[in-house]
Amino acid sequence: MMEVAGPWTEVFEGSDRNGSPEEESFLTGSTLTLAPLVSESASVRRSQPIFITANRIRGIETFSSSVPSIPNPFPELCSPSKSPVISSLPPTTNNKHLIKVFGEDRHSRSVWVSPEATAREVCHMLVQTAHCSDEENWALLEVHPALGLERCLEDHEIVWEVQTTWSLKADTRLVFRKNYAKYEFFRKPTLFFPESMISDSADVGKDLTSAELIQNLLKSGTCPEIQGYLHSKESSRKSWKKVYYFLRRSGLYCSTKGSSKEPRHLQYVADLEDLNVYSVVNSRKLYGAPADFTFCIKPSKNPVRAQDLKFLCAENEQTRTCWTSSFRLFKHGKQLQCNYQLSKLAPRNLEAANHFTDTKSRSEASLVAMDFSGKAGGRVIQNPSEIRSAEKEEGQAWRRREALRCSLPNLNSGPRPSSIHKTQPWFHGGVSRNEAQRLIERQGLVDGMFLVRDSQQHTQCFVLSLCYKLKTKHYLVIPCEEGGRKYYTMDDGLTLFIDLLQLVEFHQINRGILPVCLKHPCVCVL
């Protein structure tokens, strides 16, 4: 061993570093034990220290490794342009926001959107990634599960601005769901706006009929007055009070004396510009509402607070729909008409099946009953009773043909299993009557919305739940036997079907005993 005393300087081979005077003064008088020195030889290769320059501190490499580079066996996984998981990676720019959207099965999907993305654009992204059809019937909903509040975002609303108004402690979420009734009042205005609830106001010309007032309302050139009784509940009270309300362009008012319109009896309630309207789910249980047709209004730019909520309850679904639709039209005006026109121009799936369904739905209003039994080549049936008779005869002939086809031996395709309905999107298993009504209401109370479920009261029976004129009707499907074969019927055996799929397909073309053909299956979003 060798002992070194006194000042010393450590010099590395290949380095221009020298000891500074400060280092010399600090190490003066210290001792250092060193390993035995080995003479330099060509056979011994020492690892050389690398001098770190200031450029590397700034993130610039100034040296190259002597180790040969190993080629990447999977270059496609490292290329952002070819990566199969690029949708889950954050965008390269910093002006993107991550939003989480839930489906009705409570599974969520995260999407990167720009700060200016509208609800229509986000729906388009989700439709493309999930390969959905009927793009114009999809919507984003703002849902407050604990409070039972739901609101369909308008197509022009900025999604990120809506989220900034949410409380961080709340369980508010965005839900991706079908909503066939979003613009249904443009198609059937008389169903959504009863004549008794519409009257002329100061800014509308006199001597206008109810139909003219409705057209003015839809075109948003001028607004009539919406009026009627509603049960109201303040956040600080537990009881409900029946009050007469007026909805005008200037805001929402209530009368302090019956249905009087005199200015001294009118009380200002809310401004439409700073107002959002929510439908209330399970309002009887949550808030003790006198009926299930409850909606809520609150300031749009404030978080949901109990003191800001005002609950209103209507007598029936038509009255509630009239109020909520009028709130939207009065607030957004012609923007809703533009949104409706853009929804009809939304890109559609070009597959043949979807194209056929879309064409059928657009031309359905022009279908007429025809009689081809004569020699003239066919005639249009005008008599309603003759139309019903022809429809019944066609249904019976169709049933006989199907029964004969299924009874023939050696068919190319074997008989369909009796449980084939369980694979269909419109079958909802053992949901209750109330749950079936809620499912249909969530996706829009439009004529022809339907689902099929197990009957809870009759064993081996099913129930067809169908929406017609804003109401849900339920039809019992009974199994029966004929000729040793099992069938299903809804009209006491007059028309038989070999399975539920055949029953649904038949009533998508023929009404039968139903008030309207089956149009929109109520499905869950996966």
Q: Are residues 438 and 291 in the same domain?
A: no
User: Which pair of tokens denotes residue 517?
Assistant: 């053909």
Contact 145, 174 (CB under 8 A): no
Q: Are residues 194 and 155 in the same domain?
A: no
User: Which pair of tokens denotes residue 522?
Assistant: 């109520």
Q: Is the dihedral of CA 456, 458, 463, 465 positive or negative?
A: negative
3-state class (DSSP) for residue 370: strand
Strand duo 471-482 + 370-371: pairing: unpaired
The total number of structural domains that make up the chain: 4
Q: Are residues 329 and 189 in the same domain?
A: yes
Which of 151, 178, 205 is a domain's end point?
A: 178
Token pair 């609950």 in the structure block, residue: 311
| Phi-psi sector, 457: left (phi>0), alpha (psi -120 to 50), beta | alpha
Token pair 């654009």 in the structure block, residue: 121
User: Which pair of tokens denotes residue 56?
Assistant: 């590397």
Residue 88 belongs to some domain of the structure:
no
478 φ, ψ (degrees, to nearest 5):
-110, 135
Residue 334 belongs to some domain of the structure:
yes
What pLDDT score was predicted for residue 370? 64
Contact 274, 251 (CB under 8 A): no
Q: Are residues 173 and 46 in the same domain?
A: no
Q: Are residues 333 and 474 in the same domain?
A: no
Q: Are residues 61 and 148 in the same domain?
A: no
Question: Rounded CA gap, 156 and 190, in Å?
Answer: 26
Query: What confidence tens digit (pLDDT) does each residue in 350-393 have?
Result: 343 344 344 444 444 455 666 666 555 567 776 777 776 776 67
Residue 313 belongs to some domain of the structure:
yes
Residue 14 belongs to some domain of the structure:
yes
Residue 57 belongs to some domain of the structure:
yes
**Closest Cα to residue 310, out of 261, 342, 275, 285?**
275
Question: Rounded CA gap, 116 and 161, in Å?
Answer: 9
Token pair 């979420």 in the structure block, residue: 173
> Which domain range does residue 152 map to?
94-178
Question: Rounded CA gap, 281 and 293, in Å?
Answer: 9
> What's the alpha-carbon Rg for the chain, to the nearest Å?
36
Q: Are residues 337 and 390 in the same domain?
A: no
Strand duo 173-178 + 198-199: pairing: unpaired
Task: Going residue by residue through the chain, which has 526 residues, state the pLDDT in tens, using 9 for 90 and above.
Answer: 445 455 554 444 444 444 445 444 444 444 444 444 444 444 545 445 555 444 444 444 444 444 555 555 554 444 443 333 334 455 555 678 889 999 877 788 888 989 999 999 999 888 887 767 666 788 999 999 989 999 999 999 999 999 988 888 888 999 998 888 888 888 888 888 888 888 875 444 456 666 777 777 776 556 788 999 999 987 677 789 999 999 988 899 999 998 888 889 999 998 888 889 999 998 999 999 999 999 999 888 877 777 788 999 999 999 999 999 999 988 888 888 888 888 887 654 434 334 434 444 444 445 566 666 655 556 777 677 777 677 667 666 655 555 555 554 444 444 445 677 888 889 998 899 999 998 898 888 899 999 999 999 998 899 999 999 889 999 999 999 888 888 999 988 888 898 899 999 999 988 889 999 999 998 865 4
Which of 137, 158, 178 is a domain's end point?
A: 178
Residue 368 belongs to some domain of the structure:
no
Residue 282 belongs to some domain of the structure:
yes
Contact 71, 80 (CB under 8 A): no
What pLDDT score was predicted for residue 212? 75
Q: Are residues 170 and 189 in the same domain?
A: no
Q: Which amino acid is present at 332?
A: H
Contact 503, 487 (CB under 8 A): no
Q: Are residues 111 and 52 in the same domain?
A: no
Question: Rounded CA gap, 444 and 407, in Å?
Answer: 40
Residue 424 belongs to some domain of the structure:
yes
User: Which pair of tokens denotes residue 409?
Assistant: 């031996």
Which of 178, 212, 242 is a domain's end point?
A: 178
Q: Are residues 9 and 105 in the same domain?
A: no
| Cα→Cα distances 227→274, 275, 480, Å | 20, 18, 51
The packing angle between helices 334-344 and 119-130, to 10°, is 20
Q: Are residues 49 and 130 in the same domain?
A: no
For the CA atoms of 71, 72, 75, 77, what is the dihedral angle to 10 degrees? -170
DSSP-derived secondary structure letter, 96: -
Exposed/middle/buried for 377, CB within 10 Å: 0-12, 13-18, 19+?
A: exposed
Q: How far apart are the first and last CA of the chain?
A: 77
3-state class (DSSP) for residue 475: strand
What pLDDT score was predicted for residue 58? 43
Question: Rounded CA gap, 111 and 113, in Å?
Answer: 6
Q: Are residues 173 and 197 in the same domain?
A: no
- Alpha-helical (H) ranges within 271-383 are 283-287, 317-332, 334-344, 352-363
